[in-house]
Amino acid sequence: MAAPAQNLRINGDRLWDSLMEMARIGPGVAGGNNRQTLTDEDAEGRALFRTWCEDAGCEMGLDQMGNMFARREGADPDALPVYVGSHLDTQPTGGKYDGVLGVLGGLEIIRTLNDLGIRTKHPIVVTNWTNEEGTRFAPAMLASGVFAGMHTQDWAYAREDADGKKFGDELQRIGWRGDEEVGARKMHAFFELHIEQGPILEAEGKDIGVVTHGQGLSWTQVTITGKDAHTGSTPMPMRKNAGLAMARVLEKVDEIAWSHAPHAVGAAGHIDVYPNSRNVIPGKAVFTVDFRSPDLEVIRDMENRLRVAAEDIADEMGLQIEFEKVGGFDPVKFDENCVAAVRNATERLGYSHTDIISGAGHDACWINRVAPTAMVMCPCVDGLSHNEAEEISKDWAAAGADVLFHAVVETAEVVE
Ligand code: HGY
Ligand code: MN
Ligand code: MN
């Protein structure tokens, strides 16, 4: 394939300026972002991204899940496009780079190709996937999951947030529900640039992670029901304390994950107790257990042991318990040709690199089921993410975007 000249680089200053400008939309309270999916802030970020793409000469497509597709024409308009992108939505206490680097890194490819007057055989499409985070509307990677045929659109539209608002209604409300059928687009390949969100690359002093696999994920929502009662006048033997049962289950979650060290992980990030009043014994606890591992059998073992242990705890305490699988995907092996394109680009550019398994889930994990897919990772400071203090260096951002540029443009084939 016709690769871009080895000396070509993206414009790191322009990429960084765009990251900082996008970060001003939906600011957090501690220097990061709170630009949750389908909020007015998400709509504002989408509008800015659309303006930038149109200024770069792209035509913007929009599907019925709000996925955005900015297309730069190729010399052969019939050739399947090379897609590149990630997500603009953030955690409630998110950082400025999770997802955003991948979307704006894709836009920087278009801007650089325009600067250099380079044409590619295949069109290139920069993508913003709706609701990657899955915080407001579970599960994570919802819209890329519908695109890959893993969820129906009706099921996705019916997902509710904590206030009972539905995904489909909120998408309509912010004015970003398109007409395109979801998943109708066919891809030559898909690439995603993302911060590592873990400590490995920084600790090993590597600029680039060549992502060969993604670990699998399992989200089980547990509901434990006891009985609200007075925290003062109710004798200990009479209590039906759902909050205490939850605490005992969470201790088991930690134990189960440690039993599969060093690769398995487990925790509960979403925890609600009701009525959450200082002098009422919690009659109900609802929480989501997040288990992950590169090994599917380990994930299944952790899920099974969670149910057995949690049912035993509920039985001993005379409480009711229910389980609902609210998210998950099997471990992923990315496309070897696309991974090779990333590795070759990294070596051509002379960046230090190491193969890595993604600890976090990404839209690429679903798109890998419908198109040849690979990811590029850059380090993040202290491996910290899903925290407003998430930080990367400008050089790391530029190196990741350079590798993304070379992998995407080589795959899209430069037309001399
Ligand atoms: O949960 C994840 O791994 C991703 O950040 N949504
Ligand atoms: Mn992300
Ligand atoms: Mn994230």
Query: 370 phi and psi, to 5 degrees?
Result: -125, -5
pLDDT above 90: residue 208: yes
Ligand 1 proximity of 361 Cβ (cutoff 6 Å) = yes
Sorting pLDDT into bands at 50, 70 and 90, what band is 64? very high
How would residue 4 be classed by pLDDT, with cut points 50, 70 and 90?
confident
User: What average pLDDT does this structure show over 371-390?
Assistant: 98
Cβ of 349 less than 6 Å from ligand 1: no
What are the pLDDT digits (tens) for 14-34? 999 999 999 999 999 999 999
Q: What is the C-alpha to C-alpha distance for residues 23 and 265, in angstroms, rounded to an integer? A: 30
Beta-bridged to residue 374, according to DSSP, are 191
Given this model, what pLDDT does residue 246 score?
Answer: 98
Is residue 407 over pLDDT 90? yes
pLDDT level of residue 325 (50, 70, 90 thresholds): very high
- Let me know the angle formed at the C-alpha of 127 by 123 and 133, rounded to the nearest 5 degrees: 160
**What confidence score (pLDDT) does residue 3 get?**
77
- Nearest C-alpha to atom 1 of ligand 1 is from which residue? 361
What is the mean pLDDT of the segment spanning 208-235? Answer: 98
Cβ of 360 less than 6 Å from ligand 1: yes
What is d(CA 35, CA 47) in angstroms, rounded to the nearest whole number?
Answer: 13
At 269, is the secondary structure helix, strand, or coil?
Answer: strand
Q: Does the pLDDT at position 416 exceed 80?
A: no
pLDDT value of position 108 = 98
Question: pLDDT-based confidence at 1, cuts 50/70/90?
Answer: low
Q: How does strand 189-195 pair with strand 373-378?
A: parallel
**Cα Rg for the chain, rounded, in angstroms?**
22
Ligand 2 centroid distance, CA of 163 (Å): 24
Quote the pTM value: 0.95
| DSSP 8-state symbol, 63 | B
Which pLDDT score, from 0 to 100, does residue 77 have?
A: 86
pLDDT at residue 12 in the model: 98
Any ligand 1 atom below 6 A from CB of 364: no
The CA distance from 201 to 207, in Å, is: 7
DSSP of 142-195:
HHHHHHTTSS-HHHHHT-B-TT--BHHHHHHHTT---SBPTT----SEEEEEEE
* pLDDT (0 to 100) of residue 138: 96
Could you identify the atom of ligand 1 that is nearest to the CA of residue 197? 5
CB 313 less than 6 A from any atom of ligand 1 = no
pLDDT band for position 166 (cuts 50, 70, 90): very high
Q: Answer whether residue 321 shows pLDDT above 60.
A: yes
**140 in ligand 1 pocket by Cβ < 6 Å?**
yes
Residue of 154, 145, 180 lying closest to 63 (CA atoms)? 180
CA-closest residue to ligand 1 atom 6: 133
Ligand 1 neighbourhood includes 314 CB (under 6 angstroms)? no
The atom of ligand 1 lying closest to the CA of 141 is: 6
Give the pLDDT confidence of 252-278 residue by residue, as tens digits. 999 999 999 999 999 999 999 999 999
Closest ligand 1 atom to Cα of 134: 6
Could you report the per-residue pLDDT of 328-359, keeping only the tens digit for each?
999 999 999 999 999 999 999 999 999 999 99
Residue 140 confidence (pLDDT):
97
Q: Among the atoms of ligand 1, which is closest to the Cα of residue 98?
A: 5
Q: What percent of the chain has pLDDT over 70?
A: 100
Q: What is the mean pLDDT of the chain?
A: 97
Beta pairing, strands 124-128 & 82-86: parallel
Is residue 377 scored above 90 in pLDDT? yes
Predicted pLDDT at 53: 98
- 5 pLDDT above the threshold of 90: no
